[in-house]
Structure 1
Amino acid sequence: MADIKYEIKKEIGSISESPKGWNKELNLISWNGKEAKYDLRDWAPDHEKMGKGVTLNLDELKQLKKLLNELDI
């Protein structure tokens, strides 16, 4: 499996923390030297390990925000 390189360009915020100390975070990340995208996933406290997540470009993030704003919660 190829090595995945990433650079966290901006830490936006944490949504939750697991009992083991991992945080579900929204960050702006550049994957393999490409343009940075918004990324939501679980991270170990040192950002050395990560769980599965979802990566969104700006238009997708705006659409997600629109959908969330329409929810009656």
Structure 2
Amino acid sequence: MAGIKYEIVETIGVVSESNKGWKKELNLVSWNEREPKYDLRDWSPDHEKMGKGITLSKEELFELRELLSSL
């Protein structure tokens, strides 16, 4: 993405993979040299392209975990 700097600080895991090799991943990502946040989105195999996703703070991630565990 033009004008957006990112660094995948840590790969947490892969949720799924498409038949074209794109993976939906949960990563810890620093966007524009800011504090890293948890990020869930599709990534191309080389991590040069990305799909739309969501970015969560640690607190939001824990709250999401609580909501999912209640299902």
TM-score (structure 2 length as normaliser): 0.96
**Aligned partner of 1:48: which letter?**
E
- Report what 2:40 is aligned to: 40
Query: Could you report, residue by residue, the CA deviation over 1:9-66 in whole angstroms, capped at 9, with x for unpaired residues?
Result: 0000000000111000000000000000000000000100000000000010000000
Opposite residue 53 of structure 1, the aligned amino acid is G
- 2:63 alignment partner in structure 1: 63
CA radius of gyration, larger in: 1
Deviation above 6 Å: which 4+ runs of structure 1? none
Shift of 1:68: 0.5
Between the aligned partners of 1:54 and 1:48, the Cα distance in structure 2 is 18
What value does the CA root-mean-square deviation take over the aligned residues? Answer: 1.2
Residue number in structure 2 paired with 1:28: 28
Report the secondary structure of 2:42's partner residue.
Answer: strand
TM-score, normalised via structure 1 length? 0.94
Where structure 2 has 5 or more consecutive residues not aligned to the other structure, the ranges are: none
How many residue pairs get aligned? The number is: 71
